[in-house]
Amino acid sequence: MGGFVSRGFTGRRRTPDELAARLPPGQYAESGFPVLTAGPTPEVPPDSWRLTIEGMVGAPQAWSWEEFAGLPFESVPCDIHCVTKWSKLGTSFGGVSLDVLLADAQPRGTHAMIHSYGGYTTNLALADLTDGKAWVVTEHEGEPLAREHGGPARLLVPHLYFWKSAKWVAGITVLDHEEPGFWESNGYHLRGDPWREQRYWSD
Amino acid sequence: MERLTAVEQRAPGAWQVATVASIRLETPRVKTFRIALGMWVAHLPGQHYEVRLTADDGYRAQRSYSIASSPLLEGEVELTVERLEDGEVSMYMHDVLGVGDEIEVRGPFATYFVWRGEEPVLLLGGGSGVVPLMSMLRHRRLTAPQLPMRMLYSVRSPEDLIYGAELGEETTLTYSRSAPPGWTGHIGRIDEAMIVRAAAGFTSGPAFVCGSNGFVESASRHLLTAGFPPASVRTERFGPSG
């Protein structure tokens, strides 16, 4: 099948060479920031927002919005890749590294389930959440994160498809095994590496 | 969440070269492509296929399109595609692809925005968001015509109406911008009053909402007002897709 050519297709939206290398297979560059959510958008006022880390940890952790604001904040320039084919190149978020959040919790497991306000879940290996690869972010391009994009706070794991970057993040449960989250139970890949095009179960 | 392992086991998920069996013009900007598949599996209404185009120098473009047909259409699927300016896949499909041409596809995928026969069912479609809902409506007509299913469908103007000839008494249509001459039905966007009225007797089942982000945001908010639990409201929003 490698030799198939679509009759009369030349391609219109070609990405400039300097950006093309940053696009994983099957993705195209999108300048906007589309919204994709499985259900209604939850409303989470910052003063009732809490973030918890629990499960297989030495010391469960919890932060209020005010406490979270006191943690070391960093700017995260990144490219993001949605499984529905768009990528947003050269964007940025601001938040707190999972390395900071997990340090005091002393995780004893290998995997994590992320829980969101509204009931969404997604699973990740701890190895995909540590060593400067994941953040809980509250800003996008210098502005407070909009509610439809997960405000007040969402997970950011830019090296995996964007459904892993759970909006309205509420908690991280550390596990000693892998369990599928919401999309992962509904046909999507357990890990979701865009460079290996891990979109669906069968990939 | 119920897991549907049957699809995981039966779906090939692999790219295949399929053939365009027929093309129907739905509106000036929307066409339905009936595609004959060598590796066919029955889909769940609401699922999608991926389409991949390859130029002779290897450049590729991929997009996902909802299935419009019932899974009872054996060996084929219908994909209804809106022509988006600057959408390189949809423009190719509209302007170049012809009957008998080959096209690379794989599917069906995703098991969340799907109807598994639950009842009652409320469908809310905006514009070409009606496509996956039409698969549900068609499948219900063929398999369980008595099953309570109701659809609210909002289009801007008469020339944006998809599947117009197929809509029956289960569907309430509204024209958000301009209605045809002599139209005595709803005019204006789907609002809270319309949804509350349509939801009467339907809040014990799922609601499927598909359309633009703005449409889905307001429609799903009104569904909560009408008494649907948030977990019963399944949404699908268009990203920009082309």
Domain boundaries, chain A: 49-73+93-196
pLDDT tens-digit profile of B79-107? 999 999 888 999 999 999 999 999 999 99
Sole residue written with tokens 């509209």: B94
CATH 1.10.3720.10 for domain A49-73+93-196: no
B158, pLDDT greater than 60: yes
CB contact under 8 A, A6 and B239: no
Residues of B (178-197) whose Cβ lies below 8 Å from A = none
Report pLDDT for A9.
94
Please report, rounded to a whole number, the percentage of residues in chain B having pLDDT higher than 70.
93
Q: Does B161 lie at the interface with A, CB-CB under 8 angstroms?
A: no
Quick one: DSSP state of residue B226? T
Report pLDDT for B12.
55
Sole residue written with tokens 């369980």: B144
B9, pLDDT greater than 70: no
A11, pLDDT greater than 90: no
> What domains appear along chain B, each with residue ranges and CATH number?
5-109 (2.40.30.10), 121-237 (3.40.50.80)
pTM: 0.85
Report pLDDT for A13.
65
CB contact under 8 A, A4 and B54: yes
Q: Rounded CA gap, B17 and A4, in Å?
A: 8
Q: Rounded CA gap, A130 and A118, in Å?
A: 25
Over residues B195-217, the mean pLDDT reads 95
Over residues B188-214, the mean pLDDT reads 95
Over residues B27-52, the mean pLDDT reads 95
Residues with Cβ within 8 Å of A169's Cβ and at least 6 positions away in sequence, in order, are A51, A114, A115, A116, A117, A136, A150, A153, A154, A155
- Mutation for B interface: A186, A189, A199, most B CBs within 10 A: A186
Task: Report DSSP letters for B148-212, one per residue.
Answer: -EEEEEEESSGGG-SSGGG--TTEEEEESS-PPTT--SEESS--HHHHHHHHTTTTTS-EEEEE-
pLDDT tens-digit profile of A118-169? 999 999 999 999 999 999 999 999 999 999 999 999 999 999 999 999 999 9
Between A5, A28, A202, which is nearest B54 by CB? A5
Between A8, A39, A202, which is nearest B235 by CB? A39
Report pLDDT for B7.
45
Report pLDDT for A31.
80
CB contact under 8 A, A182 and B1: yes
Report pLDDT for B242.
42
Q: Does B239 lie at the interface with A, CB-CB under 8 angstroms?
A: yes
